[in-house]
Structures are given as C-alpha cells and as structure tokens.
Structure 1
Amino acid sequence: MACTFTKASLLRSGAVRAYSAQAAPVRAYSAQAAPVAGSTNYEVKTSVLPNKLVVAHAENDSPISRVSILFRAGSRNESGETMGATHVLRVAAGGTTQRFSKFAIARQVAQADREVVAYTLEGTRRAVQDTIPILSAVATEQLFYPWEISENDNRLRLELATRPPQLRAVDLLHKAAYRTGLGNSLYTAKYNIGKISSETLQHYTATNFTSNRGAVVGIGVSHDTLLECAQSLPLESGSDATGPGVYKGGEIRSDKGGDLAYVALAGEGGSLKNIKEAIAFAVLQQVYGMGPSTKRGLGSSNLLRKAVGELNEPHSISAINVCYSDSGLFGVLLTGSANIAGNLVTAALTTLKSPNISDADVNRGKNQLKTTVLSAMESGSYALEKIGLQAVLTGSALSPGDIATMIDSVSAGEVKAAAQKVAASKPTIAGVGNLRCVPFLDELK
C-alpha cells in the first residue's frame, strides 16, 4: 500500500530550479486587455548593470505583480562564526530598517536556501509599484536591533521542532555528502539560538549582500521600474568567491524511534555549470519516479516503483534531484515502516547502482518533465522564484517555452550517462527515525 509521505516542495528539483527560456512575446498588460493570469507564454528580458547587479523582467499579463531582490548568500557561505545566520535572517525579515519601522513592513518576505537569500514583494500592480522602496529597505538597509533579533528566538525553536522528518533527512544528506559549504544546514543549531548577534548579522550581510552577488527580478513590473530599483540599492561591490561544492559522500544517522524510517540516499548529480547535463538529470528524475503523475495513480511505470514492487505496509519512494551552481545530488527519498525500511533502501540503491533505462523510459520522462515545468510556471510566484534563481546564479534568465525545447533536445544517451555518473559515485545515506532495520553504508553492496 503506497501513500504520500514525501512532497516535492521540500526539494529543489533540477531543471525547474535552474532554467527558463525565450518564447514569443505577449502583449503588454493594459486595462483594455483581459489579463491571462498564470500564462507561460512570456519573454524574459535580462540586463546587467555596471556594478554587476543583474536585472530580469517578464510580463505574464497577470493583474498581480511580483518583485524579488536576491543575493548569493545562502547557508553555504556561512563560516563557523556565522553558522545559522541565514535562518535568523529568514525569520528576522521585517525588522526595523533605516527608513521604515517594523510596523510598516509585512513580515513573510524572506526565503533562504543553501545558495540564495531572497526578499519578495507581491500584490496588485499599483500596490507593488508604490511599495518597492519598502522592499529595497528590507533587503538592504536592515538595522538588526538586538531586541528585535531576540524576539525571534521562540520562532527559531518552533521551526526546529516542527521540521518534517523528510526535510531533516535531506538536510543530513547534504551534511554527509559535502560536510561544509553546501553541507551547512538550512537551520541554526539549537545551541546557537540566542548567540547570533546583531554584529554577526551585519557582518554577514555586508560580506554577502553585494552588487556582484545580487539580482532584482520582477513579473508584471516594467523593466525600467526594476532598473530604477536596482540602481537605487545602496550596495557595495565585494568578493565573488564562494567555496566550491565538492561531493565526498558518507553517512549520517539520527535515531529517533517511532514507527517510521525516513531515509535519503544519493550519488553525485549535475550542476548548472553544464546546462545540458542538468536537464538530463531532471529527465532522469522523472524516469526513476516522483510519485504518481496522475490523480490516485501509483506511478507503477517508473523504475523505483518497479524495483520496490507491491508492499502491504505504508511506504513512499521518490527520486530527488538537487541542482546547484557547481554541484548536485541525485538519489532517492523514502519513507516506510521500520521493518520494511531496509528492503526499501536495498532496492533503491540497487536501482541507482545498476540502472536499466530504456528509450521508452526516457521519452516518458521527457514528456512528464515538460508537463511539470509548464504547469508549474503557470504560478506567478513559482515563475518569479525560478527566474530569480537563474538570474542570481547564472547572470541571465530564460523562458519556459525554451525549457521545453531543451528537454526535447536531450538524447536517451545523455540521460543514461547521467544515470551512470550516479552509479559510479560514492553513495551517501542519511536516515531519521526508527533505523533498526536500515543497513549501514558499509553493509550495502
């Protein structure tokens, strides 16, 4: 009996995370033209200012506008002294700035992952136009008053206590695979709550929130407005160096008891340095399976479901593909009752180490990926996030239509080569929960 324990939103999936591309331009929004909310038929325009700040704009004819200011300042940039700073930044968004008090700022504007910290504004076109200065202040003029930082300690504890175990397993997977840099957690450690000071945050933002590490992106906002916003940001230029993400492999286990085991296992995946390879890994993820592709379906045609077979106990198994600017992880996230977890892990690793992929599997994966990408890009907030990630990590942004073209151009040989890269790499495994039946890494063949 299969059930859905894993959610795709917990993960950063390859091609959707990385790209977009050019399609035929649509007409500009006007009061006379009925907007088509969620349209994926749009062009993305990109500019780079003299200070290396990237500006990207798209028009999707929606009545809702969205603007993001992003920096390559995710947790991979944390050092021993600043460990956990991005988690604190995420919950501290909306504090007092040089121009606005916290009472004038909506609190929920910040997101952060291992590579990027982003501040986003969303609302009607007129409202967004009028409040862009507040977004600019929130992103670049934080004061980090000590009493405001300490007010968030209970929220930090709550977020640590309520982390889904699947997310915890993926977090530990990164720690085992990279150790430092990309291995840094998305969350501050319990022992560090209350110890990340105002001075630490000021130092972290001054070091990483710089023009050459940033981008300003928008949907439903004119390019000229975004350029004006970008040019007004009080940003200094800084170092562009980020420690390389070097995949090493390993094992971390967190025995917590209970009835279920949550296990993530992976090998080395693709990166944004090679776009074609990253797309191939995104197709491979669909081939291995991400759960049912249809309502109430079982996804029985994917490789992982075939490898596991029919089980009478609750379980879930899904391929994961996490693509970063210079490295990546590809593998499996699984959940199951403690007594079958070992069988699930063995079946999953055997499938990763001995892939048997047909051309029909690749064609199915390509079609599923195109559907996933184009459907997801109908959401304006999702499209903004993906365009923003492209702009800040690669310096340019592409549109959804060309992603589909790039997917079509991937050959079966390239997908099989991606699978062989995973098979040849040292495996990484991380587990949370009742792990009594989960084999250790040196016991897996």
Structure 2
Amino acid sequence: MLVTASDDFCISCFVSQKRCYAAARRIDALTEPLGGLKPATAAPLTPQNVQVSKLPNGLVIASLENNSPLSSVGVFVKAGSRYETMENQGVTHVLRLAANLVIYSVSPGEINCVVVCLSSSVTSSREAMVYSADCLRKDIDSLLEFLVSVTTTQEFRPWEVHELTTRVKIDKALAEQCPQISVVETLHAAAYKSGLSNSLYCPDYMVGRVSSEQLHSFVEDTFTSSRMALVGLGVKHSVLRQVGEGLLSARSGSGAPVAQSLYRGGELRLHNNDDLVHALIASEGGVMGTAEANAFTVLQRILGAGPHVKRGSGLSSKLNQGIAKATAKPFDATAFNASYSDSGLFGVYTIAQADSAGEVINAAVAQVRGVAEGGLSEADVLNAKNQVKAEYLMSLETSEGLLEELGSQALATAAYQAPETVLQAIDAVTQGDVVNVSTVTGHIVQSDFNLFELPHTIQRRRTDVILFICDACYLF
C-alpha cells in the first residue's frame, strides 16, 4: 500500500491495529435527542394515500403526496419495442436516444441544460417507454412543462436523427460485450414470432435507416392519452390532473390497435469462439399480475435467483446444490422469469465450460423435474415467499422504485394495489401452486440436453425454447 504525506494521520492505525473513526465517540446514545435544540414548531404531516384517476381522454393520473422536498414525475407510455412493425424495427431504440433533440424552438443545448438541472432519464422495455425526472418542489411547473414537451412536441429533424446513428452503434457494441443481454434478446426471438420477439436494440440492417418520418408515425400511433399514465411523487394530484386535462389533451385518441404476442417456442444456437457455453432453456410463464405469475416468482426463488447479499455465492439454492453434485468444474446457474401483459417466460439459465456444459444443463433441469414431482417442502415455499416479499418491499424504499411500481400498475390496470395487497397475494401462493407451475415448466426437462449428441432434428414439444450460445468447434 502506498502511503503519502497526506496519509500520515492514519499510519498509527496500521501500527496499532486499532479501529480509527472519523469522529470522537459520543457518550450520549443516538436514541436521545441532542441537548440545546429547540423543539419543532411545525405540525406533523399526515401521511397520504396513493390517488389514481382516469380522465375522459383515457389518460391515467396517479400520485402520492409524500411531503418530500423533492418531486418526481414520470410519463409512462405503452410504446415499447413490442409495438414495432417489420417496417420500423429499431424505432424505439432511436426514439430513446432522441429525447434531447429539438422541441420546436428549443435547442438541444438548452434541453441538455434542463436535463442536468432536473435529473431526467428515458428508459424503455418491451412493454413501455418511461420519461422521468426529479426536481425541487418549487420547480415542479418547469418539470411538467419539460416532460410534456419531450413527449408531445419533438420535431425529429432528419439531420439530427441521422447523427444518432453513432450512438446507436455504441449502444449495440456495449450490449454485445455482455453475453447475458444477447441471451435474453435471442430468447425472445425464439419464443415469439412478433411483438415480444422485437429486440430492445436496433437490428443491424436498420442501423442508420430509421427515418424522421418513421419516428413521427410511431409517436402518432402510440403516444396517445389512452396509452399513457402521468405519475408523480411529492406533487398534488390536482396539479397532475390540470396538466393531463390541458397540455396532454392534444394527444387524445386510442392509438394503433395492439396485437397479442403468441408464444410459439423454438430453438436457436449462436456459435462463437468463447470458452463458455451460455444455455437458456425456457417455456411459457405467467401473465403479469396473475396468481400464476406469483407462483412462478416463488418457484424462481426456490430454484435460485442469484445471491441476496453483497458478494454472496448463492450456494444455498436448489440449482447450485444440484449442479455442484454433478460436476466439480466452475459454473453459474439461475432461474429466469419474465412476465408481460399477455405472456411470460420461465426457465433456467446456465453458464459453464464447454466440456461440462451438458452435465450442468442436465443437472439444472433435473432440479425443475424434482419440484414438478413434489420434491419441495413447506419450509422451502415459505422461505421463497419471504424472499419475494422482502425484495418487493426493498424495491419501494427508493423514489425511483416507487415511481416505477406506481407507474407500471397505473399504465397496466388504471389502478394501484397497496403493498399490503401485494404481500397478501404472495402469501396466498401454496405448495400445490408451485408444483402446478413447475409441471407446466416440466416440458423443458423431457429431453436429454447433451451438447455433444443433441441434434437439430430432435423432436420436442412446441412449448420449449432451447437457446445455446456455444463454442464454434462443436458439431451438432
């Protein structure tokens, strides 16, 4: 360790091997009020409940007055990649990057200044696109004006859209550095024919080809009041209603019809020169917000959804315990679960060296088979439900997580379920429910997944999705 002159004060810490603290220890307990302070004169603030309302134009308004000095507002739009067509593939990727383009007479530089001051962001998924921003409570009017302008009055000038090509290429290059992203994106392409099969990233053949006209057309079809939710934290409900009835009324309408994504199943293999084999074996899961989806979530925790503590190994999960008995070589395994408005995916995701991939995959799916055959106890189910509830409650501790949960529910159902209601739904999951959904998922365990002997022509159920990203030197 290099110790410089500025570090002289801490050398004694290493010599004496005693703990050093930044401040002297206080004698008074932290539970006791500090002496000499005047008592607060302001009346205690009354906790407020979430308010949700739907305007005649179809716009959903949701708010929670949490009496915070900071306000957070988000515009949630049903404009995810699933709403792309064959003609405008990649438009949502470009639209996500175009949030700082010219809004009528406002320049990108001025928008960037506002973005920095208001701490705003744009995120997108397969279901929705979210424009969110934070500000001091006194700046709420500027924040709302900014969000409305970004979502309703962008010009998409052709030369500015063309300049986004470089950023699209950078996004794709960064995504290619993470095999997990490629696995999940390819999984959806194998599982669905359209809609949910669309990638979050612009396909190669459309890079630089998404036009200003396509952006305008997509926004006209999807950014309508009946497909939007205006959500706020630390802001009065009446203020959001006024914005929805006024500025956002120009986007009234139902928008383009929504086509349901039909699950089909399939198999895809991507060959490369890596030493590791990524395999994701999945089947159709539960629809978002249903009791079946809750059972799949509990099953995911039973099998293993990764470590729950910092630098944890997750060795207590069924997947890791089962695979560790089958091979002594390094591996990683986790249960995969994704729920959407009309479908879902559930399966097991393994990473292993090429010469042990077959053993790892077979051991992983054997754990799913074991649950389907009733190989779990009430204690397993109770422990998994506690993990689900803890993770859900911790996600609501931050304003970002609470805004996302409030907006997702408002956009999907035009209502809000309190955390108590969500916890009751999780508690209602029984051992039989978990066995039933694992039996449905059991389609993925009815074949031997030996990487050296599994031919492309193998007969399997259409409800299976088999995805391998493996070394090019293996013949199939």
TM range (shorter): 0.7 to 0.9
**TM-score, scaled relative to structure 1:** 0.85
Distance 2:239 2:473 in 1: 57
- Give the match for residue 468 of structure 2: 431
Q: Which amino acid aligns with 1:301?
A: S
2:163 corresponds in structure 1 to 151
Alpha-carbon distance in structure 1 between the residues aligned to 2:434 and 2:141: 44
Q: Does 1:176 align with 2:195?
A: no
Alignment correspondent of 2:63: 57
User: Counterpart in 2 of 1:139?
Assistant: 151
Partner of 1:222: 236
1:279 aligns with 2:316: no
SS at match of 1:264: strand
Q: Distance in 2 between matches of 1:44 and 1:182?
A: 31
Could you give the per-residue CA deviations for residues 47-88 of structure 1, whole angstroms, max 9, x where no partner exists? 111111111112344433211111111111111111110011
Q: Which structure has the bigger radius of gyration?
A: 2
1:270 maps to what in 2?
286
Aligned to 1:3: none
- Indicate the larger mover: 139-148 or 236-245: 236-245
Deviations 1:204-240 (A, max 9, x none): 1101111111111111221112112222212030346
User: Which residue, 354, 360, 364 being the options, matches 1:348?
Assistant: 364
Question: Which one-letter code corresponds to 1:344 in the other structure?
Answer: V
For residue 376 of structure 2, what is the aligned residue in structure 1?
357
Residue 301 of structure 1 deviates from its aligned partner by 3.1
Cα deviation, residue 354, structure 1: 4.5
- Deviation (angstroms), 1:165: 1.1
Q: Which has the higher contact order (CA 8 A, sep 6+)?
A: 1
Which residue in the other structure is 1:376 paired with?
395
TM-score (norm 2): 0.79
Query: Cα–Cα, structure 1 residues 147 and 358, in superposed 2: closer, same or farther, change >3 Å?
Result: same
Asked if the contact 1:111–1:118 (Cα under 8 Å) also holds between the matched residues in 2, the reply is yes
Letter in 1 for 2:157: Y
Question: What does 1:35-74 correspond to in 2, within 5 Å?
Answer: 43-74=49-80
Change over 3 Å in CA distance of 1:257–1:135 after alignment to 2: same
Equivalent residue, structure 1, for 2:199: 185
Q: Gaps (5+ residues) in structure 1?
A: 1-29, 441-445
The alpha carbon displacement at 1:357 in A equals: 2.8
- Residues 347, 129 of structure 1: CA spacing in aligned structure 2 closer, same or farther, 3 A cutoff? farther
Q: Which letter maps to 2:309?
A: T
Structure 2 counterpart of 1:332: 348
Is the CA contact (8 Å cut-off) linking 1:287 and 1:362 kept in structure 2?
yes
Q: Assess, with a 3 A threshold, how the Cα gap between structure 1 residues 335 and 58 changes in structure 2: closer, same or farther.
A: farther
Instruction: Supply the distance in 1 between the matched residues of 2:217 and 2:253 (Cα, whole angstroms).
Output: 14
Letter in 2 for 1:339: D
Gaps in structure 2 of 5+ consecutive residues: 1-39, 445-462
Q: Secondary structure at the match of 1:105?
A: helix
Which residue does the alignment assign to 2:254?
238
**Contact in 1 for aligned 2:103/2:150 (Cα 8 Å):** yes
State the match for 2:33 in structure 1: none
- Among all aligned residue pairs of Structure 1 and Structure 2, give the percentage whose two residues are the same amino acid: 36
Which amino acid is the alignment partner of residue 269 of structure 1? G
Count of residue pairs brought into register by the alignment: 405
Q: Verify the 8 A CA contact 1:210 1:238 in the aligned structure 2.
A: yes
Which residue in 2 is equivalent to 1:407?
426
The 1:117–1:383 alpha-carbon spacing in structure 2 relative to 1, beyond 3 Å, is: same
Counterpart in 1 of 2:87? 81
Local SS of the residue matching 2:283: strand
SS at match of 1:215: strand
